[in-house]
Amino acid sequence: METVCSSSDTRGFGFKLIKGSVTGPRLGCIFTPRGTVHTPVFMPVGTQATVKALTPEELEQLGCEMILANTYHLFLRPGHKLIERLGGLHRFMNWHRPILTDSGGYQVFSLSPLRKLTEEGVRFRSHLDGREVFLTPELAIEIQVSLGSDVIMVLDECTPYPADRSYTIESMELTHRWAERCKKVERKEGQALFGIVQGGMYRDLRKESATRLSEIGFDGYGIGGLSVGEPKELMVEMTEATVECLPADRPRYLMGVGMPEDVVEAVERGVDMFDCVLPTRCARNGLLFTSRGKLVIKNSQYKEDPEPLDPECECYTCRNYSRAYLRHLYTSGEILAARLNTVHNVHYYMKLMRDIRASIMEERFGSFKKAFYDKINS
Amino acid sequence: METVCSSSDTRGFGFKLIKGSVTGPRLGCIFTPRGTVHTPVFMPVGTQATVKALTPEELEQLGCEMILANTYHLFLRPGHKLIERLGGLHRFMNWHRPILTDSGGYQVFSLSPLRKLTEEGVRFRSHLDGREVFLTPELAIEIQVSLGSDVIMVLDECTPYPADRSYTIESMELTHRWAERCKKVERKEGQALFGIVQGGMYRDLRKESATRLSEIGFDGYGIGGLSVGEPKELMVEMTEATVECLPADRPRYLMGVGMPEDVVEAVERGVDMFDCVLPTRCARNGLLFTSRGKLVIKNSQYKEDPEPLDPECECYTCRNYSRAYLRHLYTSGEILAARLNTVHNVHYYMKLMRDIRASIMEERFGSFKKAFYDKINS
C-alpha cells in the first residue's frame, strides 16, 4: 500500500510528517515543484547525469521518485553553465522528477588527494585532467542553482575517520560557518537547501552540530561523515545522537548510506532519506540483493541454474531471465548484464522502501524488521 | 506501409515472393514456426546470445523480426548442450522471434589464427582459453540444432581475399562437399538449412558455386566470402553473378553486409537478407547513422548542440536526448551512451528496410534509391 500526499503549494518545497515524531520510524511526504516524494525514500545515484545503465523511464517504472546527481562530476564535465544553457539538468538527462545534488564536498575529499582547505574554500585538482579548481561554499550553491537541482546541499568538510576530538571540532565549526555562507546565496524558487551535520564519532559534537544547524535553519538536514569506515554500531549511535537534536518537521537524510540493513536500522531511528551507489555499483560487479541475502552471479553453482535471481522478486529481470543466462552475460562482459542486474538491484531497494513505508503506516515496523532479518539470515 | 503475409503451414519454414523475380529488387515473406519475417530484412547480430546493449523487447519495438546469433561463440561459451538443456536459445535469451545462426566457419577463420583445415573439418584453438577444438560440418549443424535455431547455415570455408584462382577453386569445392555433408544431418521440424555460395572474386566460380548449391538444394542461400576487404564494385559484381544462378523462390542472404549503401545496392540486385555488426558496433564507438550521413558524436562541435542526432528520426533517443547529452555520455564512458546510440542505429537500419520494402511494393525502388543517395550526399 502507498499513502498519497498532495501539496497545497505546488510551487514550493515542503515536508509533511504523516506518522512518527522526532525519533523512531517516520512516514512522510516531500513536496517539490517536480512532484511528491514518499519517505522514507532511497535515491539511486546518477553521478554523471545518468543512473548508470538505466533510462529515466526505467527508473520511473521501478518506482523511483527522486535521484541524486553529483555536483563535483557535473561541474568538471560537462560543466554546470553548459547544462544551464541547455535548459537545466532535468531536461539534459530527461528526468523530470526531483533531483537532489550533493555539494561536491565529499568527492573533493575522496577523489582529489592534493586538496588544500582554507577558511575561504577548498582548492583541488580535477581527477579528470589535473587542472586546479577552487570550490567555495558560495560556488557550490551557485553550481547547484545552475543545474536546477530541487534539493541543494551545503558545502561541508566530511570529517575523516578516525579523527581526534580537536580536529573534529575545528572541522565541524568550519562546516557550520560554511553552512551560514551557503544559506546567504540566492536560489531559484522551489529550490530547497539542506544543511549537513558533522561532528565525527563524538555524540556530544553530533548533538552540537545538529542543534547549531537547526538554529541556522534549513529545509532539511543531511547527516554527513558516516559510512566512512567506522563500525556499524558507531554509525547507528551517531545517527541516533544527531536525530534527537533535529526538528521533527524537516526531513533527515543519511548521506551515502547504504546496505539494506543500514537503511532499516536508520529508518528505525528516524531517518527519512538515503542515497547510495551500492545497488547500481554492486549490480555492475555481479552482486545481487535478494530476499534471501546476497548472490554472486559469477559463481559456478549458477552455471546451469534455470531459476530467477530471486524467486520472490517481480522485477523484469526475474520475470524473464535465469541465473544461468545472467551468469553467461556477466562472464561474457555483456552490457545487458549491467542492465539486467541494475534493474534487479534498484527494484530490490525500491521494494524495500515500499515495504518499510507500508509497515510504518500500519504501525508494524518492528515485526517488519524482524521478518527482514529472519529471511536474510535464513 | 507494410504487407502482411500469412503462412498456410505454420509448422514449417517457407518463403513467398510477393514482388520481383530472379534478379532485381524483391519483396517477400519468410515463414517460420516462430513468426513471419518481411524481406528484404536486416538482422542485428546477437553474438553471445544478446544483441549488445538491447533487450529483446527493445528489438521488437524497433521492428526487428529476426536476429543472428553466433554458433562459434555460443559453442565455446556457455556451450550448446547447456543452452539446449535450458530450453534452447530462444528461451535462454528471451527472444521468441526467429533466429538465424551462422555456422561458426567465419569466426574460426577470422578469430583463430592457429587453425588447421582438412577434408574432415577444421581444428582450431578457442580465442577464450586456447583449448583445441575440432569443428566438422556435422558438428556445426548439430550445434545449431541444439541451439534451436530457425535458420541453420552450413559450414563453409570463407575464402580469404585476395586468393588466387586455384586456391579459390579448391576452397569452393571443399565448401560444396561440406554442404552435402551438412544436408545429411538430421534437424528438428521447422529448422531450415541454408547453403553458402563461395567462389572468391571470380564471376564464373560464383556462378558455378551458386548452380552447384542449387542442385544440392537448400531452403535458402547465403552469399559468403564478400565484404572481406574487396572493393565495393567487386562485391556488387560478385553478388550479381551469384544471384543470377540462384532459384527465384528461395531467399538469398548476403552474409555480413553491411553499410546502408551496400544494403541498398544488394537489394537492387535481388538480395533478401542481411546481417552485420555495423549498427551495434558503430553505436558503441559513437558513430551514428543519420538521414544526412554519418555523425561522430565525440566531435567537439556537438558539445553544446541541443538538436537530436537526426531531426528527421523518430527513435526514442532522438525524441528525448540532445547531441550535447549524448556526447557527454559518450565522453564519460557511460553505459547509457551505448544503449541510446544502439537504439538509434538499429532504428536507422530497421527504418531503412521498411522504406526499401515500401518502395518495392509501390514499384518505385529506383526513385527511393536516388533520394537515399541525394540525402546522404547533401
Which residues is A244 bridged to in the sheet?
Answer: none
Look up the CATH number of domain A34-276: 3.20.20.105
Find the angle CA(B247)-CA(B252)-CA(B258) to the nearest 5 degrees.
155
CA gap A55, B38 in Å, rounded: 30
Strands (DSSP E) contained in B244-355 are 252-254, 273-276, 287-290, 293-296
Which amino acid type is present at position B339? Answer: R
pLDDT of res. A3: 54
pLDDT of res. B1: 46
Catalytic residue among A156, A219, A262, A275: A275
pTM of the model: 0.97
The pLDDT tens digits for B2-46 are 555 555 444 689 999 999 999 999 999 999 999 999 999 999 999
Alpha carbon of A292: minimum distance to chain B alpha carbons (Å): 24
CB of B161 less than 8 A from some CB of A: no
pLDDT of res. A276: 98
CA distances from A102 to A29, A282, B373 (A): 20, 21, 50
Residue B315 confidence (pLDDT) above 60: yes
Q: Which chain B residues contact residue A306 at CB under 8 A?
A: 86-87
pLDDT of res. A1: 46
Interface of B with A in 319-358 (CB under 8 A): 320-322, 324-325, 327-329, 331-332, 334-336, 338-339
Residue from B60, B74, B339, B344 to probe the interface with A (highest A Cβ count within 10 Å): B339
Residue from B50, B316, B323 to probe the interface with A (highest A Cβ count within 10 Å): B50
Nearest by CB: B85 against A304, A320, A336: A304
pLDDT band at B280 (very low <50, low <70, confident <90, very high): very high
Domain extent listing, chain A: 34-276, 277-365
pLDDT of res. A114: 79
As a whole number of Å, the CA-based R_g of chain B is 20
pLDDT of res. A24: 97
pLDDT of res. A196: 98
Which residues is B153 bridged to in the sheet?
Answer: B194
CA gap A57, A131 in Å, rounded: 36
Alpha carbon of A196: minimum distance to chain B alpha carbons (Å): 29
Secondary-structure class of domain B36-276 per CATH:
alpha beta
Bond from prior residue into A98 cis (ω within 30 degrees of 0): no
A77–B303 CB contact, under 8 Å: no
Share of chain B above pLDDT 70, in %: 97
pLDDT of res. B365: 98
Residue B223 grid coordinates: 552469399
Residue B105 confidence (pLDDT) above 90: no
CA gap B157, B106 in Å, rounded: 7
Q: Which chain A residues contact residue B69 at CB under 8 A?
A: none
Q: Count the residues in chain A.
A: 378
Residue B286 confidence (pLDDT) above 90: yes
CA gap A163, A160 in Å, rounded: 6
Centre a 10 Å sphere on the Cβ of residue A249 and count the other Cβ atoms it contains. 12
CB of B274 less than 8 A from some CB of A: no
Residues of chain A with pLDDT under 70: 1-11
CA gap A230, B49 in Å, rounded: 43
Query: Mean pLDDT across the stretch B243-258?
Result: 98
